[in-house]
Amino acid sequence: MFIKQLIKAGLLILISVFSLIGCSSEEGKETNETTSVETSADEQDTQVGAQAETQEHADEQTTGGGSVGKFDPADVCKNISIDGRIVEFPWTLNKLGDEYEYSDIFTGDSNDNISGAYLIKNGERFLIVNVGDEVVDRDSPIVVMRFSITDNISIYSLGAGTTKEDVIRLLGQPAEVRDDQVLDCHYVYISNEMLLEFSFYEGKLVDTHINVYGDWK
């Protein structure tokens, strides 16, 4: 009888011990799960914060924000020189002077009312331009042109020694960098009023494309 009671008491002790172990394991599991969830949430917040900071930095770079300057189309138009003198862009023949004329005028697509022509100086071809009128006269605005560093035209005195870093310091980061199979690349700046493109070869500026939009008369 005594032995049976002893066995019974032993079984009760074992059951109590297993019960305590089970409860302790469940509590530990719940604690671990809670900690894991909290850690995961913190990691997500950190990742979101890092992504937002990265995107903000990228936006600054794209728009020319921060300390590198800002692309200002109106200011660019006031800082374009030809033959060593500033002539506010868009140019017209009357702005440029009597020594400038057009030759070989050709009419473009009738939908855009833009014509092409050679700009000539003292009877010699100077460069090809696009004029913002279908019927061209001396008051027609030159709205598109591409010129090289040898054409005696410059923007902000950017010339033969100009590097990519020089352009970025002046105008900020480009909106787009276009690769080229021959040249290094093209830096493109875009706004609602203007497109600017700078082309580089062996790290130096070789030519520039400028395009302005709207009614410039």
What would the mean pLDDT of 139-151 be, rounded to a whole number? 93
Q: What pLDDT is attached to residue 43?
A: 56
Measured CA to CA, the distance from residue 143 to residue 153 in angstroms comes to: 15
Quote the percentage of the chain above a pLDDT of 70.
63
Closest CA to 199 of 152, 163, 156: 163
Measured CA to CA, the distance from residue 212 to residue 77 in angstroms comes to: 9
Indicate the pLDDT class of residue 114, thresholds 50, 70 and 90: confident
Separation of first and last alpha carbons in the chain: 119
Mean per-residue pLDDT of the chain: 75
What would the mean pLDDT of 44-58 be, rounded to a whole number? 46
Q: What pLDDT is attached to residue 108?
A: 62
Lowest mean pLDDT among 64-73, 134-143, 145-154: 64-73
Q: Which residues of 183-195 are buried (b: 16+ CB within 10 A; e: fewer)?
A: ebebbbbeeeebb
Measured CA to CA, the distance from residue 144 to residue 195 in angstroms comes to: 9
Contact 129, 142 (CB under 8 A): yes
Residues recorded for the chain: 217
Tokens 């009877």 locate to 123
Measured CA to CA, the distance from residue 148 to residue 155 in angstroms comes to: 11
Q: What is the pTM of this model?
A: 0.65
Tokens 């090289």 locate to 148
Q: Which two tokens stand for residue 48?
A: 């979101």
pLDDT for residue 148 is more than 70 = yes
Residues 6+ apart with CB under 8 A from 52: none
Q: What pLDDT is attached to residue 65?
A: 35
pLDDT for residue 39 is more than 60 = no
Better-scored residue on pLDDT, 210 or 58? 210
Q: What pLDDT is attached to residue 104?
A: 87
Contact 146, 207 (CB under 8 A): yes
